Structure 1
Amino acid sequence: MIRLVASDLDGTLLNSAGEVSERSRDALSAAQHAGLIVVLITGRPSRLVLPMAEHLGLRGHIICSNGAATHRLQSGVAEDLQPIPSQVLRALILRLRQELPDVSLGLEWGAGMLREPDDDILAKLEVHPVLKLVARSAALDPQALNARINALGAGEVHASSSGAPFAEVAAAHVSKAYALERLCGLLGVQAAEVVVFGDAPNDLPMMRWAGRAVAVANAQPQVREAADELTLSNNQDGVAVYLERLLSR
């Protein structure tokens, strides 16, 4: 029996216009009304996800920044933050600048962000608990950049991709699976009682952890291969179609 629904946003629940369709909103509302716990789980920061969750009428929690932050709705309070240690981040930034002179970096902490070349990010490392380092390189695609960052990070960070043209770096232990498992432990929900929806490599850890993993039709090949089931694309309301079928059983 499914008790918790966790859906990625970009490329999964959101259509190509970056919106949640009326059908998807209705499906999430119906799932919640039926007693299911609905969790948005995304690489997006909390400042973007909290208003969306409120607009959708969700209750409970959201998971942001690829698992580095879990916030309670409606207060918006951060109940679980997993920042990258500042000394680890400083060492990584210096290595990246030396190895990849064209790399452009940004720091994300949920309520705000800094980015080069507008800001001196090294001067700000002690000011904010950095949840995610964003890196972009003209010389390397995101997959190659992830591999280079993971090598330079010496096991202290983990870089992944959400489908955007940049690498997203978190503390080594952080993933969507890590945060979802911690939240489910708090709620008394077992992995077998969870269905997750995703489309990109950063969704793979939670898809391997959950009892049921569903990929939208537009998901990247490795995500479709890892899924237990496929649904329609994000532009065809694939998450809503699956939830409607689930609720009709």
Structure 2
Amino acid sequence: MAAPLAYSLIATDLDGTLLRGDDTVSDRSLAVLAAAVAAGAHHLVVTGRPAPRVKPLLDDLGGGGLAVCGQGAQLYDAGADRILWSVTLDRELAEAALGKIEAEIGQVYAAVDQDGVDGLTLIEPGYLMPHPTLPAVRVRRRDALWAEPISKVLLRHPDLTDDELAAVARDAVGPLATVTMSGPGTVELQPRGVTKATGLALAAERLGMTAENTIAFGDMPNDVPMFVWAARGVAMGNAHPDLKSAADEVTSSNEDDGVAVVLERLFGDAGEVKL
């Protein structure tokens, strides 16, 4: 009789976590994820990227299945290329939130991720994409950002650090939206109450799994709610200090296969429990 799995649900962030800096997944990580799945575990991507920017990466990971996208605002069925559930950010509230932030710190530069499997990332003049491999469409005026339903707003400031911008945004926005920091140069506004944890919980329920079955990997403060929800949270060696403080364990960096290091310990022997 096979030994029970330590964790039957493996939740991984992408950027700065499972992905290396060149947007690839190492052969080592692919091999141990395949071994974990063969042993009976389920791998679930939980990312800030919107669904349209995730599908090519999921193809490298085996294609089908669920993914939590847009910081928890989208539950995406990659096999069917269909969004099963989504929450949009009210565009009037988003515009009002931007106004409150700019009243405190002057001009910020904004971008939005549109909702839907064909949604675009739109950027206003002055906004620089922090991740150059992600496609974006530049618009001439800010009001063009609100043309279609959106899942989130991305913010940059010419002088403030990400931590400083996020702190000001939280104070200024209040109950209008949730403020997260998901990567270098990436402070975001998303629907109030929506986090990676809410999306992960919804996906786990559909898969018949629970928090007690879940190990989660991440690198930025937006992963903190996921760590609080899951039975075990593992921060990458390159993680933000706030996430390391919330983690049960710190592994090596994304460039040094930190996810694989932990999973090899857990699933290296045909799924035998190794705690």
Matches within 5 A, 1:103-114: 103-109=108-114, 111-114=119-122
Cα offset for 1:96? 3.4
CA distance in 1 between partners of 2:114 and 2:31 (Å): 31
Partner of 1:89: 94
CA distance in 2 between partners of 1:221 and 1:178 (Å): 23
CA distance in 2 between partners of 1:35 and 1:239 (Å): 18
Segments of 4+ in structure 1 off by > 4 A?
none
Partner of 1:42: 47
Partner of 2:134: none
Contact 1:11 1:234 in 2 (8 A): yes
Partner of 1:217: 237
Would the alpha carbon gap of residues 123 and 73 (structure 1) be closer, same or farther in structure 2, given more than 3 Å must change? Answer: closer
Task: Report the aligned-residue RMSD.
Answer: 1.6
More deviation, 173-182/160-169: 160-169
Tell me, yes or no, if structure 1 residue 121 matches structure 2 residue 142. yes
Tell me, yes or no, if structure 1 residue 246 matches structure 2 residue 266. yes
Contact 2:166 2:187 in 1 (8 A): yes
Cα offset for 1:102? 2.7
Cα offset for 1:124? 4.4
Three-state SS of the structure 2 residue aligned to 1:131 is strand
Encode CA deviations 1:71-121: one digit per residue, 9 max, x unaligned.
Answer: 012112001111111221121233334444331111112521111114233
CA distance in 1 between partners of 2:104 and 2:53 (Å): 32
> Which blocks of at least 5 consecutive residues in structure 1 are unaligned?
none
What amino acid is aligned across from residue 76 of structure 1 in structure 2? D
CA distance in 1 between partners of 2:186 and 2:10 (Å): 28
Contact 2:113 2:152 in 1 (8 A): yes
Tell me, yes or no, if structure 1 residue 233 matches structure 2 residue 253. yes
Encode CA deviations 1:34-63: one digit per residue, 9 max, x unaligned.
Answer: 221111111112222111101210432111
Cα offset for 1:133? 0.2
Tell me, yes or no, if structure 1 residue 7 matches structure 2 residue 3. no
Aligned partner (choices 148, 157, 170) of residue 177 of structure 2? 157
Three-state SS of the structure 2 residue aligned to 1:28 is helix
Aligned partner (choices 59, 71, 84) of residue 79 of structure 1? 84
Matches within 5 A, 1:141-220: 141-220=161-240
Identity of paired residues, percent? 34
Encode CA deviations 1:131-172: one digit per residue, 9 max, x unaligned.
Answer: 110110012111111122222222121111122213111112
CA distance in 1 between partners of 2:237 and 2:174 (Å): 35
Number of aligned residues:
248
CA distance in 1 between partners of 2:84 and 2:13 (Å): 20
Encode CA deviations 1:173-211: one digit per residue, 9 max, x unaligned.
Answer: 111011001111222211010000011111111011101
Partner of 1:17: 22
